[in-house]
Copies of this chain bind each other. A is one copy, B any other.
Amino acid sequence: MNSEDEIVAGHLQELRRGSVVLACLSVLREPQYGYSLLTTLDRAGIRVDANTLYPLLRRLEKQGLLTSDWNTEDARPRKFYSVSAAGHRVLERLTTEWMRLDADLARLLGGKDS
C-alpha cells in the first residue's frame, strides 16, 4: 500500500465505523448468533471483521441495546443476539439521523451546497 492508499484506508474505516452499529441493530431485529451475523453483513456488503464485531456486540449488550440467549438445542450451543426494546428505539433514532446525514451529504457531494 502506498501512502495515499493508507490515507484512504484510514478515512474509509472512519466512514464505515458508525454504519456498523446501525447495520448490526438492523439485522438483529431477527435473532442471530455472531458468526451468522458476520456472514449476513458480509453478504450485504458491510465489511467488518470478527475482531471488531464481537466486542461491538458485547458493548451493545452492555448498553442494553441487545439481549442475548444461549440456544442449546443444537449440538453446538450458540449465543443468539437480538435487539431489545431500547435497541429498537435507538435504531429508529439513528436511522432518522442517518437518513438526514445521508441527504445532506448527497447534496454537498453533488455540489449543490447552498
A residues at B contact (CB < 8 Å):
4, 7-8, 11-12, 14-19, 21-23, 26-27, 29, 40, 43-46, 63-65, 86, 89-90, 93-95, 97-98, 100-109, 111, 113-114
Q: Is the pair A102, B102 in contact by a Cβ cutoff of 8 Å?
A: yes
Which among B7, B18, B44, B93 is the interface contact of A90 at CB below 8 angstroms? B7
A94 and B45 in contact, given A17-B17, A23-B108 (Cβ under 8 angstroms): no
A17 / chain B contacts, CB cutoff of 8 Å: 14, 17-18
Residue of A40, A44, A105, A109 with most partner-chain B CB within 10 A = A105
Closest B residue to A13 by CB, please name it. B18
